[in-house]
Amino acid sequence: MRAVFISGEQMKAYEYILSRQIQWTTNQGIALIGSKGERGRCAYTPTLVQNLFKTLVPDVRKYFEDADSDELRGIPSKMQAVHSSSTIAVNIFQYGINQPYITASACGFCRKGLESTEFSAIYKIS
């Protein structure tokens, strides 16, 4: 495993963002749990639904179930973390799952021509 070094500025940004995400759950009346339930840093929602703006639609859930990232497995699951990048992606992009160009365009990712959105897709590296 490779060591990853984070600068002081990066850590300040991470802690700031995490504190804002924790504040959001507090404002929503959601009591957080630790990464090991009663232990660990309290940065996980008790249920996945509490960490999503909208419930996972079946197609999106299947993307994650078929992936090898285990985002939906475990108690709590990785996606229950308020700082989960997968949850952030779902909260942003699932909104426009049937019209992906709307969200992608609003984020500045493309102007037109996007036909589909996939979550946790697996691609072979040659």
Q: Is 37 strand, coil or helix?
A: strand
Question: How do the pLDDT tens digits run along the chain, 126 residues long?
Answer: 455 556 777 778 888 989 999 999 999 999 999 998 788 889 999 999 999 988 998 988 998 998 888 899 999 999 999 999 999 888 887 876 766 666 667 777 665 555 666 666 666 676
Q: Is the dihedral of CA 118, 121, 44, 107 positive or negative?
A: negative
Cα gap 9→105, rounded to integer Å: 30
Give the amino acid at 86.
S
Spatial neighbors of 19 by CB under 8 A, at least 6 apart, are: none
**Confidence (pTM):** 0.72
CA 124 distance to own-chain centroid: 23
CA 4 distance to own-chain centroid: 21
